[in-house]
Each structure stands twice: as structure tokens, then as C-alpha cells.
Amino acid sequence: MSVTSDGRPPSEVTGPLDSPAAIEAPTPREIRVSRSKQDRVYRGSVRATAIAAFVILFLIGTFLLVKSLPAIDKEGWGTFLTTTAWNPSASPPTFGILAVLYWTVVIAVIALIVGVPVSLCAALFITDYAPLRLRRALIALIDLLAVVPSVIFGLWGLFLLQGNLQGFARFLSAHFNWLPLFKSGGNPEFTNSAFIAGILVGVMIVPIVTSVSREIFSLTPLGEREGAMALGATKASVIRTVVLPFGRGGFIGAVMLGLGRALGETIAVAIIISPSFIITAHLLSPGANSIAALIAREFGQGGKTGAEALLGAGFVLFVFTLIVNFGASYIVNRSRTGASA
């Protein structure tokens, strides 16, 4: 713009929108899209598929709820959620999932205690320490670990891990039994426990936690990283002062994704534990449970009432994992867009 509308030289202009003429911009032509019939069919069918996914998720929740209602109404939701006895084939049938829920959470927490530090280390090694070739190989190996079937992990846990962990469990119970967690509860055996199941599930959640947090850590702004290095920071201080604060939100999200996996893990837990419907603090002794493992083990037993009770348990698990995962994806997405969590 060399000359303004009233002829003043441009150097005196304070703003180009000063004059009323500039404000009155012509209204843009309305753009109408007319799609061909084929395009409408294409759009419609693709949209229908997407909506089908929506419907399926909705149906999963409603079907499990509706079909479990006959049994749970008889028992009462309060009793279902707050009692521990599980005996649907008795008369009158009793079933409460409090103990099962308790053990589900205990196993998931042990899994997090084991799996999260390892995942954090592996993710940091991949983003900050490994040379490029090793980095690629490690990413591939961790992806491979993610597709190993859980029944295989279960066999491994039962036939190899359990034998090797027993000595450790015995040691804990012998020397740290002032903690109620490590008391043996009078049982000389240390097999089939929440401890072993938790450690196994901890190994199983490593791939998901590692790959999500690796992705988050690799988004650390290069400038801040280099700035820290230019100030003389060692690698460890770069991680402490730049990478971890930047990736904290995403890492928490990754941990929650791992928690979701751990809560829903079925077969590996079912293989390790010997089912228990009592709430105790003895992590090392035989006897634990989880909702998913309960369904896998008890399915087909206890007749109609038993099936309905299991559907109710499945519904509780469904709601539980949905909440955890929505929280996780919310946090991950927020930290991906750069907002601090």
C-alpha cells in the first residue's frame, strides 16, 4: 500500500483500517458443495461404519448391564459391590465382587510398581542414550514383546518365573514380616500369589508404557535440550531438568494406559493365581483373584445365575477400564498438544 485513500503519504498512517472504506469488505460468495450421488454413497457408508463402532461400544455396556440385572437385582447392587462371598450355585446364591475387585487392584498396583520404573528406564534409554541403530532394534523388540500372547506369558510365569521368584518371596516374608504385606499368613508356600501375578503383569505392561512414554519424551523441544547442554548439564541433568518435566503429563497418561491393561489382563492372571474370595494383606501367600480371571475360570459354571453374576462382574470391569483409559487418553492428548498437565 503506497498511498492511503485520503492521499496522505504512508509514513503518517497509524493503521490501514482507519478509513471507513477499508472496513467495508465485500461479503464473500457463499460456497455450496453439491456432491455427486456416488460421493454421497461413499460418505454415507464410511460414516455408517464409524457410527457402527460407536453403537458397538454402547451395546457392550448396555448388554452386559441389562443381561446381568436379573441376578443382581435379586442380590441387590449394594450386596453385589460390598460383599466378598462368591457362590452363585448355592441356594440361595450369593455373589459379591468386593474381594475380587480388591485383588484386581492389588495385582494392578504391583504390576505398576514393577513395570513402570523399567518402562521409564527403557524409554529414556531409547530417546536419550541409544545410538540410532540400537534404538531401532530396541523399538522393534519392544513392539514384539507387545504382541506375545498373554497365554504364553502365563505359561512362562507359571513354569519359569514362579520358581525363580519363590526364594525372593520367602526372603521377604522371613525378614520383612513386620510389614503385614509380607506376612506369610501361616502358609509355608509362596506360589500362586498376587505377588507373582503382579510381577508377571508388570512385565506385560512394559511395552505399552514404554512406547507411549518414548513417543512423548522424543517430543522434548530440541532447543531446550541443547540449551541445558550448553549450560554444561550432564545427560542425567538434561533428563531431570528438561525431559522429565516436559514429558511428565504424557508419562502419567502412559502409566494409566498401563493400569488399564493391567486391570483387564485375563489369561496370564488366571494361570498364575489360585482363586481366593477373601480380602487379606498377605501378598506373598497363595490366593488372589481378578475380575477378568474370575470370568475366564468360572465361565460355564453356576448355571444361569452364575452366568448373570459374571456378566455383572464384566460390566464393573468394563466401566472401571473405561474410566481409567479415558483419563489416560485425556492426559496424553493434553500433553501432546503442549499444554502442561
Partner 1 sequence: MSIATLKQAAQRRALPQPEDSLRRRRPTSLHRADVALLVASAASAVSLVWFVFYQLTLFSGAAGFVIASIAVFLVMYYFANRQVFGKMVAADRVVASLVTLGSVGVVTALALVIGFLYTRGHRLISWHFFTQDQHAVTQTAPASAGGISHAIVGTLEQVGLAVVIGAPAGVATAVFLNEVGGRITAAIRTVITAMSAVPSIVAGLFIYVLLITEFNYGFRGFAGSLALAVLLLPNITRTTEEVLKVVHGSLREASMALGAPEWRTVWSVVLPTARTGIATAVLLGIARIVGETAPLLVTVSSSAYMNVNPFKDPQEALPTFVWQFYQLPLAKDVERAFAAGLVLVGLVLILFVLARLVASIRPGAVHRMVTRLRPSRLEAS
HEC string of 1-54 equals: CCCCCCCCCHHHCCCCCCCHHHHCCCCCCCCCCCCCHHHHHHHHHHHHHHHHHH
**CB nearer to partner 1: pick between 13 and 145:** 145
d(CA 243, CA 128) in angstroms, rounded, equals 9
Grid cell for residue 31: 460456497
**CB nearer to partner 1: pick between 51 and 281:** 51
d(CA 99, CA 181) in angstroms, rounded, equals 16
**Smallest gap from residue 229 Cβ to partner 1 (A):** 10
Helix (H) or strand (E) run with residue 196 in it? helix 194-217
**CB nearer to partner 1: pick between 86 and 153:** 153
**CB nearer to partner 1: pick between 19 and 234:** 234
**CB nearer to partner 1: pick between 13 and 229:** 229
How many residues appear in the chain?
341
Is the CB of residue 180 less than 8 Å from the CB of residue 285?
no
**Smallest gap from residue 103 Cβ to partner 1 (A):** 16
- What is the DSSP pairing of strand 86-87 with strand 94-95? antiparallel
Q: Which of 15, 16, 36 is nearest to 25 (CA)?
A: 16
**CB nearer to partner 1: pick between 1 and 56:** 56
**Smallest gap from residue 143 Cβ to partner 1 (A):** 7
**CB nearer to partner 1: pick between 10 and 227:** 227
Is the CB of residue 160 less than 8 Å from the CB of residue 244?
no
**Smallest gap from residue 78 Cβ to partner 1 (A):** 23
Cα-based angle 133, 136, 139 (whole degrees, multiple of 5)? 145
Q: Assess whether the previous peptide bond of 70 is cis (omega < 30° from 0).
A: no
**Smallest gap from residue 133 Cβ to partner 1 (A):** 14
**CB nearer to partner 1: pick between 279 and 323:** 323
d(CA 140, CA 128) in angstroms, rounded, equals 17
**Smallest gap from residue 297 Cβ to partner 1 (A):** 9
**Smallest gap from residue 28 Cβ to partner 1 (A):** 20
Helix (H) or strand (E) run with residue 95 in it? strand 94-95
Q: Which residues contact 111 (CB under 8 A, 6 or more apart)?
A: 198, 199, 201, 202, 204, 205, 258, 262, 265
**CB nearer to partner 1: pick between 11 and 36:** 36
**Smallest gap from residue 318 Cβ to partner 1 (A):** 5
**Smallest gap from residue 120 Cβ to partner 1 (A):** 7
